[in-house]
């Protein structure tokens, strides 16, 4: 009977070890190896004025992301899956444009929304190939926006 337990334990261990190894290898595959993620274009490297590292270790990198009014970031990418975290109290949203590597532009005009007591919004993001974000607000128009804490982006390095 003990022999059976040992056999099943070893077999279970071998299956778990194999699955863990496969999963670990799969998760470690970096988006850097995929087209659209060239070396030297990481957001923190090329857009440090809008991407500030708050915390980083081998597993995650937490960025504070702020694109100032009238600013257009250089082209950059985000090679890891991530979450955007922002505190939303409603009110007018800012006008922004996202420029893609293929030359297309996604324009998002500002919108007026009702004020709320405030809620956290969490948005899952797949790796983002080369792009640039422009805050299309002016210094004057941005004065009409509510002051909000910066957006946080939590990048998961092990989910490339």
User: Is residue 65 within 8 Å of 92, Cβ to Cβ?
Assistant: no
Which sequence spans correspond to the domains of the chain? 1-30, 34-156
Reported as a single tens digit per residue, the pLDDT across 51-71 is: 999 999 999 999 999 999 999
Q: What is the pTM of this model?
A: 0.76
CA distances from 49 to 43, 134, 152 (A): 10, 13, 14
* Residue-by-residue DSSP string for 96-152: EEEEETTS-EEEE--------S-EEEEEEE--EEEEEEEE---HHHHTTSPP-PPEE
What are 96-132's pLDDT values in tens digits? 999 999 999 999 999 999 999 999 999 999 999 999 9
**CATH class for domain 34-156?**
mainly beta
């Amino acid at each position: 009977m003990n022999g059976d337990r040992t056999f099943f334990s070893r077999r279970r261990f071998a299956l778990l070890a194999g699955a863990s190894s496969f999963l670990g290898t799969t998760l470690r595959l970096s988006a850097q190896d995929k087209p659209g993620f060239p070396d030297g274009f990481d957001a923190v490297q090329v857009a440090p004025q809008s991407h500030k590292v708050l915390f980083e270790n081998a597993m995650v990198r937490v960025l504070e992301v702020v694109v100032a009014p009238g600013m257009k970031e250089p082209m950059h990418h985000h090679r890891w899956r991530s979450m955007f975290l922002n505190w939303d109290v409603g009110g007018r949203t800012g006008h922004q444009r996202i420029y893609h590597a293929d030359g297309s532009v996604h324009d998002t005009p500002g919108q007026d929304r009702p004020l709320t007591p405030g809620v956290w919004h969490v948005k899952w993001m797949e790796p983002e190939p080369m792009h640039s974000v422009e805050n299309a607000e002016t210094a004057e128009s941005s004065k009409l926006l509510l002051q909000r804490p910066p957006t946080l982006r939590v990048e998961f390095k092990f989910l490339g």
